[in-house]
A and B are shown apart, each in its own frame.
Chain A
Amino acid sequence: MTQAVMDKETFCTRIIGCQEAMFRTARAILRSDEDAEDAVQEAICTAFERRDSLRDAEKFKPWVLRILANKCYDVCRRRQSTVDLDAVGELPAPETDHVQRLSLWQAVLSLSGELRAPVTLFYYDGLSIREISRVLGISEAAVKTRLFRGRTRLRELLNEK
């Protein structure tokens, strides 16, 4: 069935509905709020230009997250020639006192780079393994492996059994 191109008002409404997921995904791939916001902004513009390629309006969220992930990868590529001390390896979990519990997001941010995005999309956005694979451009097997490793590390960080 032919899918009409989404009008601007509908597009903006859908974007606003996804804005938190977009920031979270970008922030999981990139290591600063500023870069994440820039990537979100670029992704919104690109998605609007290419909205005729959206075949199924029900898949808007994974579709726009995929465009966003590619924007984030572009930022990573541009940075390959620079040293980003904040982006090296797994970050130490933030210190909390014995009473204060580590938030889930704090724990996610302390995971290593390759684990953060799959874990975020799985727990926060409820995406399936296949959808995560398509959003991040990695195989389903790789998503499963990374979720397994992310889950193991989260158990340790959050002291959950």
Chain B
Amino acid sequence: MDQFDEMMRERAKNEPFPLPEDYAGRVFAVCTALEEPKTKKRKRPAARWTAWAAAAMALFIAVPNLSPTAAAAMAEIPVLGAVVRVVTFRAYTYDDGYHSAEVTVPELAGGQAAQEVNSREQEYTDRLMAQFRETCEAELGQEGYYGLDVTDTVVTDSDTWFTLRVDTVETRADSGQTSRFYHIDKATDRVMTLKDLFLEDTDYVDVLSGEVRRQMEEQSGEDDTKAYFPEEFTAIDPEQNFYFDRDGALVLVFDQYTIAPGYMGMPEFTIPAEVYADLLK
């Protein structure tokens, strides 16, 4: 801290601050009116809670919504090209009053690419669940809250393209959201990333990054409530999350907190086709 900072802190301490008239009275009234929430979390003695949580931990459940036989039968329908579809969900649930998890793991059928997505998604959710269990075990007897929710959405299911979006929300005092997108080119039965859309040796990363930066500045300039971290944004990831919207436009998606304050959620930028059309395969 330099001399200017010290001087400012001194002024902040000494200069009278203009609070609204009777602000303190209104704060006091709010405090006086506070009541215990009606849906208060269950409270148990720590020892009992520990035993109960240990027992509950063993009861993580996996519930397929279709039988394995039905799933296998659907996957074996003879088709021209891959018919990718979600045939099974596995739902993991847990709630001990302080920690809760709702994790839905979709299983795809329809080809090699679908199996690859299943494998990646299983690995990802296994890791999340392991981390969740570790947190629960580490916090036995404590009263902090930790929530884990994983949900999925089929964003695109056209004749040639399939996109599955998996959203993860972790909640403590605040929440953070991340997403993963899995794309399958049905014609080639391949799992696709952003990189696979563009010709090799093209500067698609620079081109798309430039457009994102332009839109960040435009939005910040037009609307004071929108804020980004342009000074921290250098470039998109070569395999940046994306999807195609209903009009077929390319939409780039960024995880919460990565390029903007938390209140902005997960920023999305729709990239006009003319920006990248010449670079496509």
Binding site for B on A (CB under 8 A): 2-3, 5, 8, 11-12, 15-16, 19-20, 22-24, 33, 37, 40-41, 44-45, 48-50, 52-55, 63, 66-67, 70, 73-74, 76-77, 79-80, 84, 87-89, 103-105, 113-114, 122-124, 126, 136-139, 141-142, 145, 151, 154-155, 160
Contact = CB atoms under 8 A, between A and B. Distances in A.
Contact of B224 (A40, A88, A145): A88
Contacts of B18: 105
Given A87-B225, A139-B229, A53 B172 contact: yes
B34 A155 contact: no
5 closest A-B pairs by CB: A73-B263, A137-B262, A12-B31, A76-B225, A124-B12
A24 B9 CA distance: 15
Interface size range of chain B in the complex:
35 or more
Nearest to A18: B27
B142 interface: yes
A70 B172 CA distance: 14
Main SS of chain B's interface residues?
Answer: loop
16 contacts: A2-B142, A16-B28, A19-B24, A41-B26, A41-B27, A48-B34, A55-B142, A63-B173, A79-B225, A80-B223, A113-B225, A122-B5, A137-B261, A138-B229, A138-B262, A139-B257
Interface string B204-223: 00000000000000000001
B118 to A, nearest CB: 34
A24 B26 CA distance: 15
B23 A104 contact: no
Contacts of A89: 224
A66 B174 CA distance: 9
A49 B145 CA distance: 12
Main SS of chain A's interface residues?
Answer: helix
Contacts of A23: 19-20, 23
A49 B32 CA distance: 14
B61 to A, nearest CB: 27
A70 B263 CA distance: 7
Contacts of A142: 229, 231-232
A138 B145 CA distance: 22
Contact of B17 (A50, A105, A145): A105
